[in-house]
Amino acid sequence: MRHELPADRVAYLDDSTRGLSSAEATARRATFGPNDVVAPASNEWRDVLRDTSRDPMIWFLVGTTILFVALGDYTESAVLAFALLPIVGMDAWLHRRTRASTAGLASRMAVRSRVIRDGAQTNLVTTELVPGDLVVVSASEYLPADGVIVDGAALQVDESALTGESLPLRKRPLDPQDPGALAAGIDDACWGAAGTRLLTGEMRLRIVNTGASTLYGEISRLAQAGQADRTPLQRAIGSMVTVLVFAAGVLCLGLALTRYSQGHGIVDALLSAVTLAVAALPEEFPVVFAAFLGVGVFRLARRKALVRRAVVVENIGRVTAICSDKTGTLTEGQLRLEHLLPASGTTERSLLEIAARASRLESNDPMDLCILHRSGSAIGTRLATFPFNEQSRREVAVFEAGASGKVAAAKGAPETILAMTREPDVQRAAYLRQAGELAASGHKVIACAQRALPEWPGGEPDRGFAFAGLLAFEDPVRTGVVEAVAEVQGAGIRLLMVTGDHPLTAAAIAREVGLGAGAPRVIDGSMLAERLLLNAADCLLDVDVIARCLPSQKLDIVRSLQRSGEIVAVTGDGVNDVPALQGADIGIAMGERGTRSAREIASIVLLDDNLRTIVGAIAEGRQLLANLRLSFAYLLIIHLPLVLSAALVPLAGFPLLYLPIHIVWLELIIHPTAILVFQQQPAEHHLRRVQRHARPRFFSTREWAVIGMCGGLLTLLVGAGYAYSLGADRNVEHARAMVMLILIVASAATTLGLSRFRSSAAWIAAIATLGTAALVIPVTAIGALVNLQPLRGDEWLIATVAGLVAGAATTLFHGRELALRHGA
């Protein structure tokens, strides 16, 4: 990974002792602003009050409390008013929990920093740092901004907050004498990032990026912005909630009219309707979904994938096709000079010297940087340069060679350079054949030649050269990409390599990474254009690699795949990739080498430009969707018997089964369980093959059947338990205790079953849930406050068995359906 070094932020990189003056710091602060790495938090209490006021449970409690006060039942009104405290407290806690990513980022920032100012070391508030500052960081301290390490020995840094990598990374100071160090960007080994922690040694860091320009600043802002977008699933949930609210309204009105017609009075009718409304209102669904989006943004950031739009959290797990660049994504994106093949009579050293003469120190060309790094520097006094262009496909330089006169060195495409030499046709053909074989194995090949110029009248020499040999460069495949490609293809996801390289080079890399089971099917841009003219949905079905692809064709590729029903993720790094990034279901920009336009339009920005990161993001996205399905399944399975029993028992003429305080009690269990337990399920290590759908549904028909069956079974158990405990004396408070215990045990068992007994959060929630029943039901004084009476021993046993049966049914049938969905 390499980091850009903007010219306006560079200061004294070759001096590890000199800091800025106060005047310089003031001027830079006016230009770059304060070093607020973590986005300033809004008013915490105002946000809590705003979010809490949106909770219908709050208004239900306030309204029913006022109602009981009006009726003179001060004990019930006091209990309901007291219940406001845990509700508000839980909302405040959940408010902080959903913002855990930003809070976690803030906790890893240094509050004060030691900085060299005006020639002396001083202690400043971290927000006062500016680009160019020289900061001293000791072991165990956090880095306050992004910058270049200019001094230090035996440095190890913990970067787990950024990358999730638990092992410390070794760092070293930048060598300003390295000719390619600044031109090619700062190597990650010489770079320190805000929020990471120095473990060993003492470091001097020259600040380059502050505030929002740091990687941590970007994560902070993306984590907040990513939760604002409404996704298709969120809109679908909104529609579902609207329908359920309407249905609940009709049911509540019917219940109120029925109770009133049965002679129970207006107060009973009103209380019945309000209680049923709160039991039936599906307010948890949008709240749970919003919480999962926030968690998804943070978890994907830990996977080195910064989410810019919340829709990605929903869609990344549904990807069925990936259009990937070759350079920098499948390969390292850094050329290495791997082979020196000198011509007869030329040594490797002489060949390298000729190549170095034809290279420029000021060039950013990766080949020039590789050659100069290998040779040490350009050789001799340069008199003239005739740079490479697409027409000439060569670069020629003229040098002073002392008493022997002048010399011209040339490098470029093998066919171009060989045409300038005195080589016979047979020998030229042999060299071109050798160059073709190297290109077919994935190498970039150039040729070099040299000519003595006893007299040089000026102009570019273009004939009479002596052939010096071939240089073969290689862009190595990234570590782990072969395994990532196998995992993607094994999961049934199409992987299409799209590159501008020669078909032979593209095919060689595709074979090396395992595309097409080692026998990739390759077409070029012209063949692609012919296929796209057919406008067939499956015109790319038999393609693994598209070589010589024009930038304008990328969007056409995306649209063709979408017409065939694929959910497409596409990678890009340039301005010409913007249409494809925007048109794809998920646009993925390269964080290391991507342009600003690409990063701004993309929905994900990769921090390491690696296919492995995309695979990890897909695995995380799939798990997030699976977790969300588990949470919604839990809500439906528990809410279904709650709503049905709340409606059917009063409709049958019995006294109200649930009073407002019982609904409050159950909601205090259901709400945090749905939000906090299931989001903790970890992502699987490997992608599973899933059934392909054009647009997968949230629940399959089988899953809806399983949810309905489990909810229906629990409803029957609740009804049977109610009838058993009601008895001949029709003791409703006794029967209520039975029903509450069945629902509480079923909630705990369902929580554990849906989490497959693997989550510590599920165990904690289950134990806490059962603890509330053990505290309230058997204690007469506490039970009386909530209109419950203690149960007999046999009733405890029956209720526990009933709840466990409901939980076991959920574990068995829903677990089996999940296994079928994943093809296990």
Q: In terms of residues, how long is the chain?
A: 824
More confident residue, 751 or 158: 751
More confident residue, 737 or 811: 737
More confident residue, 78 or 395: 395
pLDDT at position 508: 87
Give residue 76's pLDDT band: very low, low, confident or very high (50, 70, 90). Answer: low
How far apart are alpha carbons 546 and 507 in whole angstroms? 9
**Three-state DSSP class for residue 123:** strand
Question: What tokens does 105 get?
Answer: 């980022």
623-652 confidence digits (pLDDT tens): 888 888 888 889 989 988 988 888 888 888
**Nearest 10 degrees: CA dihedral of 271, 748, 282, 626?**
180
223-244 average pLDDT score = 59
Most confident range (mean pLDDT) of 506-515, 622-631, 670-679 is: 506-515
146-176 confidence digits (pLDDT tens): 999 999 988 889 876 665 455 678 899 988 7
171-207 confidence digits (pLDDT tens): 999 887 665 556 567 888 899 988 888 988 899 999 9
pLDDT at 700 over 50: yes
pTM (predicted TM-score): 0.64
More confident residue, 690 or 581: 581
More confident residue, 572 or 219: 572
Of 325, 253, 243, 256, give the one whose Cα is nearest residue 282: 243
773-782 average pLDDT score = 92
411-468 confidence digits (pLDDT tens): 999 999 999 999 999 999 999 999 988 887 878 899 999 999 988 888 899 899 999 9
pLDDT at position 446: 94
Q: List the single range of 99-108, 125-134, 414-423, 482-491 with lowest mean pLDDT.
A: 99-108
pLDDT at position 480: 86
Pairing of strands 2-3, 186-187: antiparallel
Give residue 683's pLDDT band: very low, low, confident or very high (50, 70, 90). Answer: low
Question: What tokens does 239 get?
Answer: 């529609």
pLDDT at position 83: 61
Question: What tokens does 132 get?
Answer: 């160019």
How far apart are alpha carbons 253 and 803 in whole angstroms? 31
What DSSP character marks residue 477?
B
pLDDT at 228 over 50: no
Going along the chain from its start, the domains and CATH numbers come out as 2-38+109-222 (2.70.150.10), 44-107 (no CATH), 226-291+625-821 (1.20.1110.10), 305-332+478-609 (3.40.50.1000), 336-474 (3.40.1110.10)
Q: What residues does 400 pair with on adjacent strands?
A: 381, 406
Report the mean per-residue pLDDT for the chain: 81
More confident residue, 651 or 740: 740
777-787 average pLDDT score = 90
pLDDT at position 417: 95
pLDDT at 326 over 90: no
**Three-state DSSP class for residue 632:** helix
